[in-house]
Amino acid sequence: MNIQNTNLNFRAGLTSRMQSEIHAADVRKISQEFAKNGIQTDFKGNKVVAWCSLMCYQIIKGLNTNYGLKLGLPNGIFLDMFMHEFAHVIHEENAINKLGGKKFVEDTNNALIPFNLSTFQKEYKHLLGSICNYAQYSPFEAVACDLTKRTVAGIDKNSLKVQSNFIKKSPYENKAFLLNLFDFEAKDEQFRLLHRFWNGKLI
Ligand SMILES: [Zn+2]
């Protein structure tokens, strides 16, 4: 991505309000705000990334505060980190809480060996390809891509605030298995697959 520090070349999907907020963004102040919350950053003076990271952070923090969730937050944010990367962190933290660190590392290493990856890709292509192109690459990409899509869809483009608890009735709700009994979407194979990955069942 070719983004100048002061010129905003990256306008795709940005409303005029977002663009003016980005222009007005003070990268140093945003970094200080993150530092106060124990998060190291290196935005290299980039207003777009700094502002987008702050938005992602506020969304996750807002979900935790407003809905009593415990979605994990990153320890550091660097230039290439956007919502997708936040989603990986959230997913990993949930899986580690479920499995414990040791088992999570073992299961992840196992899931990511080339043979298991290619089996995964063959087996789930038809179920995950509709989320995004790389969702079929690994269970981690499937969850990160789907969670990112749900996050973006849950934000009001004008107020830039989360409009509803989009985790509720999603594969990422811890009681999602109960939804299986009542909810139509939860009977969906893709839904159940994402719920399994979310909880660390990676193969
Ligand atoms: Zn990814």
Domain boundaries, the chain: 1-81, 82-203
Q: 144: CA distance to ligand 1 center in Å? A: 6
Nearest to 27 by CA among 53, 51, 11, 57: 51
Q: 147: CA distance to ligand 1 center in Å? A: 11
pLDDT at 187: 67
Please tell me the distance from the alpha carbon of residue 74 to that of residue 53, in angstroms, as a whole number: 11
pTM score: 0.69
Q: 141: CA distance to ligand 1 center in Å? A: 5
pLDDT at 139: 96
Q: 4: CA distance to ligand 1 center in Å? A: 24
3-class DSSP state of 22: helix
Quote the tokens at residue 52. 């987008």
Beta strands 40-42 and 76-78, pairing class? parallel
pLDDT at 49: 82
Q: 86: CA distance to ligand 1 center in Å? A: 9
Tens-binned pLDDT, residue by residue, of the chain (203 aa): 333 444 444 555 678 888 889 899 999 999 999 999 888 888 878 888 889 889 889 988 899 999 999 888 877 776 545 678 889 989 999 999 999 999 999 999 999 999 999 999 999 999 999 998 889 999 999 999 999 888 878 877 666 677 888 888 899 987 766 666 666 565 688 998 999 999 999 98
Phi/psi for 13 (5° steps) reads 75, 5
pLDDT at 52: 87
Q: How many CB atoms lie within 10 A of CB 7?
A: 9
Q: 162: CA distance to ligand 1 center in Å? A: 22
pLDDT at 186: 55
Please tell me the distance from the alpha carbon of residue 44 to that of residue 30, in angstroms, as a whole number: 12
Please tell me the distance from the alpha carbon of residue 78 to that of residue 28, in angstroms, as a whole number: 14
Q: 1: CA distance to ligand 1 center in Å? A: 16
pLDDT at 182: 61
Q: 182: CA distance to ligand 1 center in Å? A: 31
